[in-house]
Amino acid sequence: MLTGAALGLQAFATVTHASVDPASCSALARPNVFPQTTVSSARVVPADASAGLPAFCEVVASVKPVPGSDIGVVYRLPDNWNGKMLGLGGGGWAGNTLLATAAPGLAAGYATAQTNGGHEVSNVWDTAWASNPAAATDFAYRAVHEMTVLGKAVVASYYGKPHKRAYFQGCSTGGRQALMEVQRFPDDYDGVISGAPVYTLTTQTMSVVRNQIFSRPGASLSEPLLQAVNRAVLAACDAQDGLADGVVTDPRACRFDPGVLQCTSGKADASCLTAAQVQAVRDAYAGVTNASGETVAYPLTRGSELGWVRYISTGAPPTREQWLTGAAGAGLGGLRALVFNDANFDLAKFDPDRDYRTVRNSAFAGEYEAKNPDVSAFIQSGGKLLLWHGFDDFGPSALGTIEYYEQVQRTTGPKVPSLESSARLFILPGVYHCRGGPGADVFDSLSAIDRWVEHSEPPVNVIARRADGKMSRPLCAWPTLPRYKGAGDPSSAASFECR
């Protein structure tokens, strides 16, 4: 339903456009059509047959709900509108207004809504914008909500009638934004897809502690050494699920110890590890807890080694610049005043016992984290929540998302009948952060959430595929995982079952 009654919906036109109407599109840019909003452009974009895109009306605007706030939004209204709106999330410490992100939804007939999260950046790790309190709150939760409320008004104004359904889809930061919508604004969306959510500062900034593991004297590992470790892991554990396919289906069951690779001469080469390197890999697999037993960095999974270098400086200690504005610092560089009460805090010296609680108890964490497991208001209003995560994610850990889902089961479960009819988690073996890895990493989550909302059909019989087409697997609701039946094409989902 529309949440923006104050936007004057009663004044909207009554004509529904079967094709993009230039006059109606440009009319959206008239002054004072939408409160607290300046529309900088409203133009028709022609169809692109080569990209499979329909013609659409593109609306670019900024919303300023409070002093200091400047939320950029982009709406794309296709001529083949299916009557539904799709909100899309961002990545890193930024929003996302790219056409490429909206393209799949547009091609399917959705009116799409996107935001820059309240700030423009070219480097998603640069958080200098957070010195503006309004911008910090915008990115924490306000930008997506404002985008959504205004988007519903824009859709109704252009098409002459309100949307039938609204869905939100995002991964990583977009996954956090998805959970934030569910928790803070349960009436914004009918269905929400949250992939690999960085739903706490812990899950988003674990690379700070992981970098320390490999920054110890003699602990760094080159990519060839990581490849050697990965080969050894697969040799030890790949076939534990009944099939050697390059994927460790359940890394928790793998007991591989890197000590088997320790150099007998004590000097590392391209295929063996020194004692310091063995200990670093062990520590990465074990994760990091503080003296209070709190998880500061979840374990890295056995089988994910080839992806570590994307977020972790395994080969050499990070430079100062990498700590401040690179993946090594995970975006904490510009947040130091907010979360450490010290704008000059040295991230290389982060102490899990001294500093972890400071970060988690900060005012910024209070408004930024989407960790509330009580999603009963969303479910009781008819909402459906599809959570998913790649098991070999080396950024936010799938183990953290499993913990959150189990908290939802304990907290929300007693308040709503048959929780699994409205909220499910799917873990994808062998899949990295949002995409990539040896596992089947692509599935049609949008069609799945639409069937769930429209027809009360939970995501069953959904197939996940590798982007290169070389593998397919059934999408299995946690705690089940895909297992080989013992016969049939090992690359086909038909040869697997969820158990």
Q: Please answer whether residues 183 and 38 qualify as being in contact, where contact means their C-beta atoms are separated by less than 8 angstroms.
A: no
**C-alpha distances out from residue 188 to 299, 473, 479, 486, Å:** 35, 32, 29, 45
H-state helical runs in 307-440: 320-325, 336-339, 352-360, 363-368, 376-380, 398-411
What are the domain boundaries of the chain?
Answer: 5-203+369-486, 204-367
Residue 18: predicted pLDDT: 54
Total-model pTM: 0.94
Q: What are phi and psi of 376, to 5 degrees?
A: -65, -35
DSSP 73-88: EEEEEETT--SEEEEE
Residue 268: predicted pLDDT: 63
pLDDT in tens, 418-456: 999 999 999 999 999 999 999 999 999 999 999 999 999
Radius of gyration of the chain (CA): 24
Give the helix/strand (H/E) hosting 45. Answer: strand 37-45
Residue type, 397: S
**CA–CA separation, 148 and 142 (whole Å):** 10
How open is the CA angle 381-16-83, to the nearest 5 degrees? 30
Residue 159: predicted pLDDT: 95
3-state secondary structure of 441: coil
Q: Please answer whether residues 89 and 96 qualify as being in contact, where contact means their C-beta atoms are separated by less than 8 angstroms.
A: yes
Residue 266: predicted pLDDT: 60
What six digits make up the tokens of 158?
């252009």
What's the CATH fold of domain 5-203+369-486? Rossmann fold (3.40.50)
**CA–CA separation, 136 and 129 (whole Å):** 8
Closest-CA residue to 195 (of 444, 494, 468, 482): 444
- Residue 123: Cβ within 10 Å count: 13
The strand pairing partners of 477, in sequence order, are: 426
Residue 343: predicted pLDDT: 96
Residue 98: predicted pLDDT: 97
Sign of CA dihedral 380, 381, 384, 388: negative
Residue 13: predicted pLDDT: 35
Q: At which residue do the structure tokens 């709406």 appear?
A: 75
Residues 169, 173, 178, 184, Cα dihedral to 10°:
-160
DSSP 298-343: PPPPTT-GGGGGGTS--SSPPPHHHHHHSGGGTT-GGGHHHHTS-T
The pLDDT tens digits along the chain (499 residues) read 233 333 333 333 333 455 777 899 999 999 989 999 999 999 999 999 999 999 999 999 999 999 999 999 999 999 999 999 999 999 999 999 999 999 999 999 999 999 999 999 999 999 999 999 999 999 999 999 999 999 999 999 999 999 999 999 999 999 999 999 999 999 999 999 999 999 999 999 999 999 999 999 999 999 999 999 999 999 999 999 889 999 999 999 999 999 999 998 766 677 899 999 999 999 999 999 999 999 999 999 999 999 999 999 999 999 999 999 999 999 999 999 999 999 999 999 999 999 999 999 999 999 999 999 999 999 999 999 999 999 999 999 999 999 999 999 999 999 998 999 999 999 999 999 999 999 999 999 999 999 999 999 999 989 999 999 999 999 999 999 999 999 999 999 999 999 9
Q: Please answer whether residues 140 and 368 qualify as being in contact, where contact means their C-beta atoms are separated by less than 8 angstroms.
A: yes
